[in-house]
Amino acid sequence: MEDQVKEALEIVKAQAAVRNMTEEEINSMIKTLASGIQEVSRTAEVQQKEDQKAPVDPVRAIREKSIVCLECGRSFRVLTKKHLAKHDLTQEEYKSKWGYKKNASLVAKALARNRRKKMQEMELWKKREIKMPRR
């Protein structure tokens, strides 16, 4: 915000040098220009993020032993919320931005397969018998 105010002050100084301005006019012009400059910079940031190209094709980003972050191009076994927060994204925003389904897993294929196998072996959906000690 400071940069926008500084830029607005420079513009108002130039305007005040050309014509007489009241204090109210100066204050209102500074506020209007600062908010306008801030909005333009925000729009430029959003446009830049939208124009960003993926380092790899999103379909090929989820690989056997790794998943490539389409924001920074680094490889991981799991794309965590913590990593995506570094890019100011949630998992839902990341998936929608790059065209993944809402229920898509951001995990390497081999790791997902191993986790699935482990859960099948654990059979958590079955009731376990509780053995009570005899008295």
Q: What is the pLDDT of residues 34-61, one digit of tens each?
A: 888 888 888 877 666 665 677 788 888 9
Does 76 fall in a domain?
A: yes
Arithmetic mean of pLDDT, 22-33? 88
Structure tokens at 45: 């940031």
Q: Distance between CA atoms of 18 and 106, rounded to whole angstroms? A: 59
Q: What are phi and psi of 125, to 5 degrees?
A: -80, -15
Residues 73 and 115 in one domain: yes
First-to-last CA distance in the chain?
Answer: 74
Structure tokens at 77: 């076994």
Does 38 fall in a domain?
A: yes
Instruction: State which of 13, 35, 51 marks the end of a domain.
Output: 51
Q: What pLDDT does 81 receive?
A: 93
Does 111 fall in a domain?
A: yes
Arithmetic mean of pLDDT, 95-110? 91
Handedness of CA 29, 30, 31, 33 (dihedral sign): positive
Q: What pLDDT does 6 receive?
A: 83
Q: What pLDDT does 40 receive?
A: 83
Residues 73 and 36 in one domain: no
Q: Distance between CA atoms of 61 and 79, rounded to whole angstroms? A: 11
Does 128 fall in a domain?
A: no
Is 66 a residue whose pLDDT tops 90?
Answer: yes
Residues 69 and 16 in one domain: no
Residues 33 and 82 in one domain: no
Arithmetic mean of pLDDT, 110-131? 86
Burial level of 21, CB count in 10 A (0-12/13-18/19+)?
Answer: middle
Residues 90 and 116 in one domain: yes
- Please report, for residues 58, 65, 76, 121, 130, the alpha-carbon distance to residue 62 in angstroms, rounded to integers and kept in the order given: 8, 8, 10, 25, 42
Question: What confidence category does residue 86 fall into, taking pLDDT thresholds of 50, 70 and 90?
Answer: very high
Is 1 a residue whose pLDDT tops 60?
Answer: no
Does 129 fall in a domain?
A: no
Residues 62 and 45 in one domain: no
Is 63 a residue whose pLDDT tops 90?
Answer: yes
Domain count, the chain: 2
Residues 47 and 62 in one domain: no
Residue 93 sits in a domain whose CATH number is 1.10.10.1550
Residue type for 68, please? V
> How much is the mean pLDDT over the chain?
86
Question: What confidence category does residue 14 fall into, taking pLDDT thresholds of 50, 70 and 90?
Answer: confident
Does 82 fall in a domain?
A: yes
Residues 39 and 20 in one domain: yes
Q: Which domain holds residue 75?
A: 58-122
Residues 69 and 113 in one domain: yes
Q: What are phi and psi of 134, to 5 degrees?
A: -80, 145
